[in-house]
């Protein structure tokens, strides 16, 4: 059993994740369908609940510095590391007591690609990065990620899997794992999906497409270039990929693609948060409790 912590962020947002408790599922425009096709419930906000969080833009020219409203109800990467480190210390103590003093946790997976929730959410945006790596992350980042994957697959201590599982379950009573809320993940996924249909976004997509055509490329939407199959090899960046990425970023910048897209997502998420405020407050409280328990363990070490 591994205690690996995944910190990787995909360029295209995931639409679902592991549940945290029983929460209602959001609708961005009325009730959105659940995986089984049935309408999902909505939770109305109560008077006195925490209001929906505003978006934040530290640097208008750098999407990596932007924060979506839903991020208020997520555990930050720094807090997630604190929780993981505290859990690892509890598990290690349990393993030592069980006769496996040389057991060590699997290493964290280094960040690969986007460093924040909005970095690469709408595709690549850095001209310097595009000129060096195309649609790929930095080669050193990829190597570190690959090495961490390999290291996490081997338990050199030879620990008994059942003992490790027991220690992990025991640690959960002291420091719960960081899990993702279905509600939060659906708001993130639905806002991304619905934003691509908004007239403002489709308009800038058309402008971007026309711009790319003047440079010799035929793509309808920005993610079409990002998802080009011939650019999928994680260890090979071709001259064609770099040229395409450079043109892509130039057209994105010229027509303010990311900011337009982000602003539409902010509007959609703000509406969804207001509808589901009560349930989101519960998620936020659970997150804070987990981090508080982890902090207590870290302080006691």
246 lies in some domain: yes
- Cβ neighbourhood burial of 173 (10 Å; 0-12, 13-18, 19+): exposed
Q: Do the beta carbons of residue 195 and residue 268 sit within 8 Å?
A: yes
- Note the pLDDT of residue 53: 55
**Does residue 160 form part of some domain?**
yes
Per-residue pLDDT band for 163 (boundaries 50, 70, 90) equals: very high
Instruction: Specify the higher pLDDT residue, 23 or 223.
Output: 223
* Total of domains in the chain: 1
> What mean pLDDT comes out for the span 15-33?
33
Q: Report helix, strand or coil for 33.
A: strand
The maximal CA–CA distance of the chain, rounded, in angstroms, is 67
Q: Is the dihedral of CA 259, 260, 263, 268 positive or negative?
A: negative
- pLDDT tens, position by position, 165-194: 999 999 989 998 888 899 999 999 999 999
Query: Could you report the per-residue pLDDT of 97-132, keeping only the tens digit for each?
Result: 999 998 888 888 888 888 899 999 999 999 999 999
Which 3 state secondary structure label does DSSP give 56?
A: strand
Q: Which range marks the domain in which residue 275 is found?
A: 62-300
Rounded Cα–Cα distance for residues 138 and 232 (Å): 14
Q: How confident is the model over 201-229, as a mean pLDDT?
A: 96
Q: Answer whether residue 244 is part of any domain.
A: yes
Q: Does any domain span residue 270?
A: yes
Q: Which residue has the tokens 């964290």?
A: 108
Q: Which helix (H) or strand (E) element contains residue 57?
A: strand 56-57
* Lowest mean per-residue pLDDT among 6-10, 100-104, 115-119, 243-247: 6-10
What's this model's pTM, rounded to 2 decimal places? 0.78
Strand, coil or helix: 84:
helix
Is the CB of residue 226 less than 8 Å from the CB of residue 123? Answer: yes
CA–CA dist 22, 284 (Å, integer) = 13
Phi, psi (degrees; rounded to nearest 5) at 110 = -60, 155
pLDDT of residue 297 exceeding 60: yes
Q: Is the model's pLDDT at 13 over the cut of 50?
A: no
Identify whether 12 is part of a domain: no
The burial class, CB within 10 Å (0-12 / 13-18 / 19+), for 126 is middle
| Tens-place pLDDT, residues 263-282 | 999 999 999 999 999 999 99
Q: Are 249 and 132 in contact (CB under 8 A)?
A: no
137 lies in some domain: yes
Assigned domain for 177 exists: yes
Whether 121 maps to a domain, the answer reads: yes
């Amino acid at each position: 059993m591994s205690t690996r912590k995944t910190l990787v962020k995909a360029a295209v947002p995931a639409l679902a994740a592991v549940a945290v408790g029983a929460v209602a599922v959001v609708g961005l425009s009325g009730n959105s369908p659940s995986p089984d096709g049935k309408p999902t419930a909505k939770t109305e906000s109560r008077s006195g609940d925490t209001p929906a969080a505003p978006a934040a833009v530290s640097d208008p020219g750098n999407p990596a510095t932007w924060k979506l409203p839903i991020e208020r109800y997520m555990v930050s990467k720094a807090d997630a590391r604190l929780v993981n480190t505290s859990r690892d210390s509890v598990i290690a103590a349990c393993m030592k007591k069980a006769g496996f003093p040389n057991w060590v946790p699997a290493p964290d997976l280094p960040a690969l690609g986007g460093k924040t929730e909005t970095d690469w959410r709408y595709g690549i945006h850095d001209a310097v990065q595009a000129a060096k790596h195309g649609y790929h992350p930095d080669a050193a980042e990829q190597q570190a990620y690959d090495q961490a994957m390999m290291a996490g697959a081997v338990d050199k201590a030879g620990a008994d899997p059942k003992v490790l599982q027991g220690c992990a379950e025991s640690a959960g009573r002291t420091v719960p794992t960081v899990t993702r809320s279905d509600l939060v993940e659906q708001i993130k996924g639905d806002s991304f999906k619905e934003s691509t249909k908004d007239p403002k976004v489709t308009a800038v997509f058309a402008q971007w497409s026309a711009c790319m055509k003047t440079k010799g490329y035929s793509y309808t939407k920005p993610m079409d270039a990002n998802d080009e199959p011939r650019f999928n090899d994680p260890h090979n960046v071709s001259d064609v990929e770099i040229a395409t990425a450079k043109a892509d970023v130039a057209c994105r910048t010229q027509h303010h693609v990311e900011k337009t897209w982000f602003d539409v997502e902010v509007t959609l998420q703000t509406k969804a948060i207001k509808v589901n405020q009560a349930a989101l407050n519960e998620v936020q409280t659970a997150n804070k409790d987990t981090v508080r328990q982890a902090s207590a363990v870290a302080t006691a070490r």
